[in-house]
Structure 1
Amino acid sequence: MDGFPESVDRRLDAAPVEFARSARQLLPKCGELPLTPPYERVLHAILDLAEGDWRRVRTLGQAAREDWRDVLWWASGGAGGRSDEA
């Protein structure tokens, strides 16, 4: 898969330019996540949790690279919807 899923590209196209540019660099690429994740869902969860802050995209992207299930857990409201790291 080249680039990001279409829904993620559309979302980034609608975001502020600086955030979108940073997020495109920081979001994990498809082959960077362990196991076989629901890739598109993980990316949307990262963007939801980041709330427009590229620093959080970096932190959450790294967390997803270690275990993407944590990101989905946080996005679903687990642990109060927040990670300790982000």
Structure 2
Amino acid sequence: MAVLKRMSRKSIEALPSGHYWAVPHAPFPLDGGNGHDEVFPGAHCISDGKWVTFYKDGEEVWACNALYAAAHFDFVPIPANRSATVD
């Protein structure tokens, strides 16, 4: 008799407050209309721990909640002593 195992879900936590360089995860067919195209191939972003705003060339291009961002993008912290104009 086959035994079904429960699949464990990866725990995702909201992106903490800070400045980051964001890169979208590998494209997913449903992501196109979700703002990922605006962020590709990468963008500067600022998180307040609840909301994340993405910028390119100093202009806001997209925003989402910090939990969604953590699940769909990879982030590299931008040190406080480094210019945030990496986009």
TM range (shorter): under 0.3
* Structure with the higher fraction of residues in strand conformation: 2
* Structure with the higher fraction of residues in helix conformation: 1
Higher relative contact order (CA 8 A, sep 6+): 2
